[in-house]
A and B are shown apart, each in its own frame.
Chain A
C-alpha cells in the first residue's frame, strides 16, 4: 500500500492553510486603522527612546552613538540628581496618602448608606476637572497672605502659616495635597470595583463567628483586594513618578528648583516647558533621563510584583522568577553596553540592549495583565 496522504486530509490541510491566510488578512484589516496611528505615535517613539539615549542626537545634525556618555553626564549633573530626589519626595508621600485615603473611602462608600452616590461623585469630580482650572483655584487658595487656606489656619490659631507655593520648603507639600485631592477619587473607584468582587457571604459568616470589624478587614477585605491593591499601587507609582502637568501649572518647578522633577529636566533639555522657556534641544541627553524615569517606574513595578507574590498564601512563599529574570536582564545589559562601548559595535550593542529591555517590558505587561484575570 502506498503511504500518500488520503485526499480528504490533504484537502483539509490546504483549507486550514487558506483559512489562516484569510484570517490573518481579515484580522489585520480590522486592526490596521488603529495600529498605524498607534505605531507612529507610541510604539516607534518608545523604541526610538531606547536608541536616542545612547546618542548625542540634538536639534541639528546627525546622531552619533556615544554609549554611556549621556548617563555619565547625568550622574555628574547636580541638577539632575536633585530632580531625582525631588521626584521621590513627591512620589512616595503621594502614593501612600492617595492609596490609603482611596481605600478608606472605598470601604466607607461600599456600605449601604443614604446619599452614597453623591459622596462618590464628589470624590471623583476633582479627577475629571481640568488641571489648569485646578491650578488657578488652588494657587489662589494657597496664596500666603490673603488665601482662604492661610486665613483659616490663622483663625484656628496657627501664628505663622506656611507660604505654600511661594515657599521652597512648603511648595512640595502643597503639590502633594493638591495631587492627592485630585487623584484619590479615581483610585477609590478602582478599589470599589475590587470590593464588589468579594462575596458578601464571607462577611456574613465572619459576623456569625463574631469577628470584629478590624478582623474582618484583615482576613477578608485585605486578602480579597490583593489584585486590586497591586494594580492600584503600580498605576499610582507610574502616575506619581512621571508627575509633570500638576507641577507645571502650579509652580513651574519653583520656587527656585524646589519642585523641579525628572520630567521637568527632560522637557528643559529637549523641547522646552513653554514658549517662554525654550528647551536646549539635547534630545539624546534628555532621552537618557527619560530612560532613567522609565527604569524607576519599572523597578517599582517589579518590587510590587515580588511583594505581591510573597503575600499570596496559595502560592509558594518565594517566587524567584522575576528576580532571576531581572538579574539576567541586568547582566545582558551590562554586557551589551560593554561590547557596544569598547568594540565600537554601537548599533549591535543597542539592539541587544533593546531586546533585553523589551523582554523586561513583557514582564511588566504580564504583571499588569494578572489583574485582568
Chain B
C-alpha cells in the first residue's frame, strides 16, 4: 500500500516538474498563433481565441526567415560533414597508429576543453582577421565549428572499443591504413558517427556567439543572429507574435532531429561527457 502511495507521489512530482520544463515551450507555440495584442493579456490567455495560422506565412515576408534558415541549414550541413570526416580521420591516427609524440598531441587536444572559449576568443578573432577570413561568407563559422576537439575525442573513444584483430586481418589482406579507416572502422562506428553528426548539427544550428562576432553582413546571418536582430528591431518588437513564430521555426528542426535521434544524443553525451 505505502509502496503505491510512494509511486503516486513520485509521478505527481515528475509531472509537475515536466510541466515546469515544458510550459515555456507550450507558451511559445501558443503565442506564435496569437494576435500581436494578445501575447500579453491579463489574465493570461493560454490558448488563442482564434488561431492565427497566417502568422506562419507572414513571418517569411516580415523578416528574412528564408535567408536565415537557408544559411543556417547550409552552415550546419557543411560543418557536420567536415567535422565527421576530419574528426574520425584524426581519431584513427590517435587510436590506431603508434608514433612518438602522439599522446602529448592528444593531451593538447583535451587540454583545450578546460580553457573557456571566452578566454581565447580575442586572439582567435585577431588571427581570423589577419588570415582575411572575417566577413567572408560563412567561412569563419565553418572553420570555428569544424575543428573542435570534440569529434576527435568522441571518435577516439569509440574506435578503441573496436577489436584490433579486425584491422589486423584486413592488413594481412593487403588493405592500407586509409582503407581500414574507410572500410572497417567507419562502417562499424554507425552509432558513434550518428551521435557526432547529430550533436554537431544541433550545436552549429544553435550557435549564437560565433555568428554574432563574425557575421556582420545581413545577407549571411544565421537564424539565431537574425532572430536577435528582429527582436531588437523597433519594427520587430511590436510584432510579438511573429517573434514567437520565428522562434518556433528556429526550434522546430532541432525538435524533430531530437525526437528521432534521442538515443544518439544521450549516448554521445554519456560517452564523451561533452557537447561540442
Contacts and interface: CB of A to CB of B under 8 A. Distances in A.
B250 A130 contact: yes
A25 B77 CA distance: 31
Interface stretch (A159-167, A168-176, A289-297, A337-345): A289-297
Interface in A315-373: 361-362, 364-365, 368-369, 371-372
A45 B40 contact: no
Contacts of B194: none
Given A45-B120, A122-B21, A189 B99 contact: no
A34 B146 CA distance: 8
Task: Specify the main secondary structure of chain A where it touches its partner.
Answer: helix
A301 B114 contact: yes
Interface string A33-50: 111111011111110110
A141 interface: yes
Interface string B118-150: 111111111110010000000000011011110
A119 B14 contact: yes
A158 interface: no
A137 B24 contact: yes
Interface residues of A, number: 100
Contact of A146 (B7, B41, B244): B41
Contact of B147 (A20, A41, A127, A293): A41
A37 B86 contact: yes
A165 to B, nearest CB: 14
A24 interface: yes
Nearest to B110: A365
A113 B14 CA distance: 11
A356 to B, nearest CB: 14
Contact of A45 (B93, B97, B124, B240): B124
Contact of B93 (A28, A140, A192): A28
Interface in A1-60: 20, 23-24, 26-31, 33-38, 40-46, 48-49, 52
Given A45-B123, A128-B202, A33 B86 contact: yes
Nearest to A282: B122
A48 B126 CA distance: 10
B190 interface: no
Interface in B79-119: 85-87, 89-90, 92-94, 97-102, 105, 107-119
Contacts of B274: 235
Interface stretch (B47-55, B56-64, B167-175, B263-271): B263-271
Nearest to B272: A372
Given A131-B208, A136-B247, A41 B28 contact: no
B197 interface: no
Contact of A286 (B18, B122, B151, B251): B122
Contact of B251 (A133, A146, A364, A365): A133
Contacts of A190: 269-270, 273
Nearest to A283: B122
Nearest to B15: A119
A367 B202 CA distance: 29
B228 A132 contact: yes
Given A128-B265, A141-B27, A297 B118 contact: no
Given A27-B98, A34-B151, A38-B147, 5 more contacts: A24-B101, A41-B144, A136-B243, A186-B269, A294-B119
User: Top 6 nearest A-B pairs by Cβ distance?
Assistant: A30-B93, A37-B147, A242-B116, A193-B270, A146-B40, A48-B123
30 contacts: A20-B99, A26-B97, A30-B97, A31-B105, A33-B90, A41-B143, A42-B120, A45-B123, A46-B112, A46-B115, A118-B18, A125-B25, A129-B206, A132-B227, A133-B250, A136-B28, A136-B247, A137-B28, A140-B39, A147-B40, A193-B270, A242-B116, A283-B122, A287-B122, A293-B118, A293-B119, A294-B116, A297-B115, A364-B111, A365-B111
Interface of B: 7, 10-11, 13-14, 17-18, 20-22, 24-25, 27-28, 31, 39-44, 85-87, 89-90, 92-94, 97-102, 105, 107-128, 131, 143-144, 146-149, 151-152, 157, 177, 181, 202, 205-206, 208-209, 212-213, 216, 223-224, 227-228, 231-232, 240, 243-244, 247, 250-251, 254-255, 258, 262, 265-266, 269-271, 273-275
